[in-house]
Amino acid sequence: MTIITDQKLIINENYEDQINKHKIPTSKKKSIPYRDWREDQPVFKLPIEFCRFRLENGRISIEVSSHKATINPLDPNSPEDQKKIFGYLQSSDREKNKVLSNLLKKDGQTSPAVITADGFLINGNRRRMLLESLFNETYDEKFKFIDVCILPGKNDPERPTLKDIAMLEYRYQVQDDGKSDYTEMAKAITTRNYVNAGLPLPQMLRDDPKYSELDDKPFNRDVKAFERDYLGTLDLIDDYLSENQMVGNYKFMETRWESFKELNQKIMSKLKNDELDEKYLAKYNIDEDEIGDLRAACFNIIKLKNPQIINKNRHTDLIRAINPWLSNSKKEFLELAEIGDVSDEITNPREREKKWEETKAELVENTVKKIQALSNKKKEQQGPINKLKQILSMLEHDYLDEDQIKRMPIPELDTAIKITNSIQTANKSLQQTFYDLKDNKSPHALKKHFENK
Amino acid sequence: MVNQINLVDDTFTLKFNKKLDSSTSYQLKYFGFNRLDKNTNIPIFKALIKNVKFVETLNFLKKKKITIFLCDNSQKYLKKIKTNEISQKKNSDYLVSIKEKPNLNEYNDFVSSINYLKRDLQEHQKKSLFHLQKAVSAAIFSVPGSGKTSVVLAYYEKLRIEKKVNGIFVIGPRSCFGPWEDEFLLNINRNHNSKILNINPTKRKIIYDQKLKNELFLVHFKTIANDIEYLKNFFLENKLLLVVDEAHNIKKIDGVWSNAVIELSKKSIYKVILTGTPLPNDLRDIYNYLDFLYGYNSIFSKKDRASIEILLNNEKKDEAINFVKQKIHPYYTRVTKKELNLSKPIFNKPKLIKMNPIEKNIYEAILTKIRNYGRSTFLNNIDLIQRICKARIIRLKQAASYVRNLDSALHDEDINIHENLLDDKSIRNQIKKYDQLEKPAKLIKLISMVKNLKNQNKKVLVWSTHLKTINLILKALLAEGIVAEKIVGKTDLDKRRNIKEEFNLKGSSLDVIVALPQACSESISLHKACHNAIYYDLNYNAAEFLQSLDRIHRVGGSEMIPVEYDFLHYVDTVDVKVYEKVFKKADRQMQIIEEENLTFDLEDIEENWETLYNDLSL
């Protein structure tokens, strides 16, 4: 890992000379979010072979990390590894690749890529990959060149530092400016790479238009939420992978991101030694020395494949059920921790998974079914006040995911408004029933209320 | 190899002889141990002593049936922790015994040592002082009028003689400053040499910087929040007994005042909390007092607080109350009203008065409006219920006190947005010109009652919750040749003290004080020469009402002579309902106050404007 400091970026002079020799000036200009540059920068045409992929690219961060974990670390200077990255980019989002490829065919390259003076792509990896693919497909000469803006080189006083590159890359790749075409897991990995390399998270987020205008208080709250939802979730996945002999193999867990996020938000982030949420422990009657067992039990739930076993549609619903299970049958839930993992001698992730399915899954499923049944029974025994309280807590924050709400598109917001109106109407009717019952205005008030439904 | 834990310098090393399951490994990580080599089958963990939950770790391993060998250093460390726990427990047990069953010889020796005061302490005060001295820092929750200030001043004098402190620093509301100076003179045989820090910030800073020139410092809560950094230095330079009077003002968790006061408390060894109403609303009100006395979370840990929160959320109030009671029991003393042996107060039946025609007309007009609006109009807008109920009650109360109180409502657009109770032109005109049209019937009755008492050489304390009413009463009394003064929020300290001193002087010319409970119900004694109070109107605040009763019913005057309370009500108005409600609440609180142990009035939290409004049965 490169440590980001104010140290100047190392530039391969040989490559820089080659680029200078082969770059063709154009009349186009483009602004780039480098430092506080305001003036548009010249755009050059460059043969695509002089542009190389960077390993730090967020879009392929899952693959790069998983490659390192399962095979070996990739070397950006190796032509073979460049081909591998090409392959990862090719398979990263085939649908989007297809759309962009068609656009390139139809309109040509409309937005230039950004490269370092020695040719590493800061922005435009996918375009670079697609141009090469199109050239291989059509042998059309126009796909042999890529439009680029080139960052200052070795002898330029504006030559970038490592920090400049990180910020520029972050601005292009991670900020929510409509290019949200890579996953939260990839965003988390990329961000953590920057943080580990010395670029503080608040500095990165302050640069993001989504956060830049916020006052300190809401900003700090959002930084905390980001830390929890992205970095915290990733740490949790790391723990899980480590315990399952799969360090760094994020690819294997890609589909479980939302479940881990839910698990971290609702449970694990509350159980940290230095920020222990005592209220959470008290609410669910958890002793401090049960935290290890609780986590092990949750990890067994993560491994379950089929949420339908308790009539849930999504895997995250399984995670969401954990807190109610803790309320109703903590003892039985913690029994899940006793179901150990498969032998460490099996090191291949797929084999481990298979073995777990064969030997452990049924036991976990049966325990979960038992807990769910106990939970249902307890719910049935609850009185109206408890049920109303439950409804209220669902409406407040326990149930609704703040982050998901923030990302809702406008048509969904309209639906949400309609639903909230219906909630209001239903609530008014229920409230009127309670008033009537209290005032004894109508002895049949309750009957009437349910007949009207 | 056996499982073992070694402590060298400040680092623990935890070695196991076989592989651990992931749950155990993570639990150890949670307790502060970092695993060194994750791939080995013989796990080794290391941890800095300051980061480790050592006792919890040992208990956990025991629960998991993992036997572990402790090196000598680890055993010594464990013994040290246990000794600390035992000594803390012993200390709290000792304080309980001081309260409940003091060693007689020790207590008698203590009593005979109190020979440094100008005025003798009463028995209950001696007990409080005994507890305070043994606890070093503690709370006194005795009822108003029981002489808490004298106890603290006795403690201060003792500490000063022993050269443990050289000044007393009292934080409180402005109204307490005068009484502290007076009590200093009465209890300690020398000039108080006090400094009230209500001067400008530059002058205050000069005082903080220079050598201690005063003995008694009196400071408002707000000043602490403003000057906290300077004050911390001031306390580092000087040894001061730190007192918070009327401490319910710092009950707000994470409040600006409370945070500053608790921050300052770290700089003093000797600290006292004083309040007669320690828990007016909420169990959690107690946290700040104990944080102030013994440090953040020392008595109520985060875990304790969370447990209380959950018990309250689950409507297990009794369990929560018992938990809190048990925790705080060692750290406070309390004397109930009963123990003070005061005369039994006489609550006369309220005087029912018929309204005069115009005030009746205005009151009825508001009432008709309210009835016409009904509940259904606002039921559709749930958010407005509370505001409208509050506005309606306020208007009715204003009208039943003195219709000119409604002046503000004539211009109150905020309320008018929702409903306008005063949109009738003729009614508006009647309100504006009321003083030219008639005198309120209540006022006429009040004047006659005051005259009657004056003829018997009795002084009277008149209470009203409305400023305009207070001015009306004052004007009417003066017009009748009755010497009267008012005490409201704006009355400055000197004026307040002069009024108090003159009023407390038997035979002085000042016959009546007209007072606002919000401004006068705390820290002022008016009992030396006055034994009659008349309540012109009331508000719903029972704690304030109880405090106001105590102004003329206190130690040092009310032991032999009974006090009388009168109430003026307009027939068939809000007066009657408010009185019933406040008395009910006050009654419950008085019972609570009379109980040996502290109990809590949690019911009040749930009371809102809507229920109060419904209670009026309009």
Distance, CA of B145 to CA of A131 (rounded, Å): 89
Q: Which of B75-89, B105-119, B281-295, B372-386 is predicted with the least confidence, judged by mean pLDDT?
A: B372-386
pLDDT of residue B524: 80
Residues in A closer than 8 angstroms to B59, CB to CB, are 289
| Residues B446, B433 share a domain | no
Is B379 an interface residue toward A (CB < 8 Å)? yes
Is B309 an interface residue toward A (CB < 8 Å)? yes
| Residues B196, B74 share a domain | no
The answer to whether residues A267 and A293 touch, using CB atoms and an 8 Å cutoff, is no
* B327-356: pLDDT as tens digits: 999 999 988 877 888 888 899 999 999 999
DSSP state at residue B148 = H
> A200-206 contacts: CB < 8 A, separation 24 or more?
A201/A226, A201/A227, A201/A231, A204/A167, A204/A170, A204/A174
Distance, CA of B140 to CA of B280 (rounded, Å): 15
Residue B604 inside a domain? The answer is: no
Mind giving me the DSSP string for A173-222?
HTS-SS---S-HHHHHHHHHHHHHTT--HHHHHHTSHHHHT--HHHHHHH
| Residues B365, B288 share a domain | no
Among candidates B60, B303, B380 on the partner chain, residue whose Cβ is nearest the Cβ of A289: B60
How large is the average pLDDT for residues A15-31? 94
The percentage of chain A sitting over the pLDDT mark of 70, rounded to a whole number, equals 92
The first and second tokens of residue A366, run together, are: 């049966």
Query: Residue A24 pLDDT more than 60?
Result: yes
The first and second tokens of residue B88, run together, are: 């803390």
CB-CB under 8 Å, B307 with A293? no
pLDDT confidence tier of residue A343, bands split at 50, 70 and 90: confident
The answer to whether residues B549 and B344 touch, using CB atoms and an 8 Å cutoff, is no
pLDDT of residue B143: 83
Residue B151 inside a domain? The answer is: yes
Distance, CA of B231 to CA of B265 (rounded, Å): 10
Angle between helices B467-479 and B441-455 (to 10 degrees): 50
**Residue A61 vs residues A57, A200, B352, B362, B424: alpha-carbon distances, Å:** 6, 19, 83, 77, 73
| Residues B471, B382 share a domain | no
Query: Residue B592 pLDDT more than 50?
Result: yes
Residue B165 inside a domain? The answer is: yes
Higher pLDDT, B593 or B527: B527
DSSP state at residue B269 = S
| Residues B476, B432 share a domain | no
* A287-304: pLDDT as tens digits: 999 999 999 999 999 999
Distance from CA of B303 to the nearest CA of A (A): 5
The first and second tokens of residue B82, run together, are: 């246990």
Is B69 an interface residue toward A (CB < 8 Å)? no
* A73-99: pLDDT as tens digits: 999 889 999 999 999 888 877 888 899
Among candidates B30, B301, B307 on the partner chain, residue whose Cβ is nearest the Cβ of A291: B30
Instruction: Give the closest residue to B532 by CA, choosing from B546, B513, B519, B518.
Output: B513
Of the residues B437, B470, B504, which one is the last residue of a structural domain? B437
Residue B92 inside a domain? The answer is: no
The answer to whether residues B110 and B130 touch, using CB atoms and an 8 Å cutoff, is yes
CB-CB under 8 Å, B306 with A288? no
Higher pLDDT, A119 or A445: A119
| Residues B463, B421 share a domain | no
pLDDT of residue B606: 45
Distance, CA of A16 to CA of A27 (rounded, Å): 22
Question: Between the ranges A53-57, B305-309, B608-612, where is the mean pLDDT highest?
Answer: B305-309
pLDDT confidence tier of residue B381, bands split at 50, 70 and 90: low
Give which of A278, A427, A435 to mutate to test B binding, by max B Cβ within 10 Å.
A278
Of the residues B79, B113, B142, which one is the last residue of a structural domain? B79
Distance, CA of B264 to CA of B219 (rounded, Å): 13
Residue at token pair 């920090």: A163
Closest-CA residue of chain B to A236: B26
pLDDT confidence tier of residue B603, bands split at 50, 70 and 90: very low
Closest-CA residue of chain B to A429: B380
Under 8 Å CB pairs connecting chains A and B tally to: 65
Residues in A closer than 8 angstroms to B21, CB to CB, are 296, 340
Is B508 an interface residue toward A (CB < 8 Å)? no
| Residues B245, B115 share a domain | yes
| Number of structural domains chain B divides into | 4
> A69-74 contacts: CB < 8 A, separation 24 or more?
A69/A246, A69/A247, A69/A248, A69/A249, A69/A250, A70/A249
| Residues B432, B445 share a domain | no
Query: Residue B580 pLDDT more than 70?
Result: yes
Distance from CA of A90 to the nearest CA of B (A): 36
Residues in A closer than 8 angstroms to B22, CB to CB, are 243, 292, 296, 299, 341
How large is the average pLDDT for residues B292-319? 88
Give which of A246, A289, A323 to mutate to test B binding, by max B Cβ within 10 Å.
A289
The H helix count followed by the E strand count for chain B is 28, 19
pLDDT of residue A25: 95
| Residues B144, B288 share a domain | yes
The percentage of chain B sitting over the pLDDT mark of 90, rounded to a whole number, equals 55
The answer to whether residues B553 and B527 touch, using CB atoms and an 8 Å cutoff, is yes
| Residues B235, B159 share a domain | yes
pLDDT confidence tier of residue B602, bands split at 50, 70 and 90: very low
pLDDT of residue A250: 92
Q: Count Cβ atoms below 10 Å from residue B387 Cβ, excluding itself.
A: 16
How large is the average pLDDT for residues A252-259? 91
CB-CB under 8 Å, B302 with A288? no
Higher pLDDT, B563 or B607: B563
Closest-CA residue of chain A to B617: A439
* A132-148: pLDDT as tens digits: 999 999 999 999 999 99
CB-CB under 8 Å, A292 with B24? yes
Among candidates B22, B307, B309 on the partner chain, residue whose Cβ is nearest the Cβ of A243: B22
CB-CB under 8 Å, B306 with A289? no
Closest-CA residue of chain A to B302: A278
Distance, CA of A296 to CA of A319 (rounded, Å): 13
Query: Residue A176 pLDDT more than 50?
Result: no
Share the mean pLDDT of chain B. Answer: 88
The CATH code of the domain that includes B523 is: 3.40.50.300
How large is the average pLDDT for residues B374-399? 71
Q: How many CA atoms lie within 13 A of B389 on its CB side?
A: 21
Among candidates A243, A273, A296 on the partner chain, residue whose Cβ is nearest the Cβ of B30: A273
pLDDT of residue A180: 45
* A268-282: pLDDT as tens digits: 999 998 889 999 999
Residue B288 inside a domain? The answer is: yes
How large is the average pLDDT for residues B280-288? 78
CB-CB under 8 Å, A340 with B21? yes
pLDDT confidence tier of residue A441, bands split at 50, 70 and 90: low
Residues in B closer than 8 angstroms to A292, CB to CB, are 22-28, 30
pLDDT confidence tier of residue B585, bands split at 50, 70 and 90: confident
Residue B617 inside a domain? The answer is: no
Q: Which of B112-116, B253-257, B281-285 is predicted with the least confidence, judged by mean pLDDT?
A: B281-285
Among candidates A283, A291, A299 on the partner chain, residue whose Cβ is nearest the Cβ of B27: A291
* B475-504: pLDDT as tens digits: 999 999 999 999 998 898 888 889 999 999
| Residues B271, B180 share a domain | yes
Of the residues B304, B335, B366, which one is the last residue of a structural domain? B335
Domain span including residue B130: 102-335
| Residues B314, B399 share a domain | no
Residue B84 inside a domain? The answer is: no
Residue B340 inside a domain? The answer is: no
How large is the average pLDDT for residues B139-154? 91
Distance from CA of B7 to the nearest CA of A (A): 21
The percentage of chain A sitting over the pLDDT mark of 90, rounded to a whole number, equals 45
CB-CB under 8 Å, A289 with B59? yes
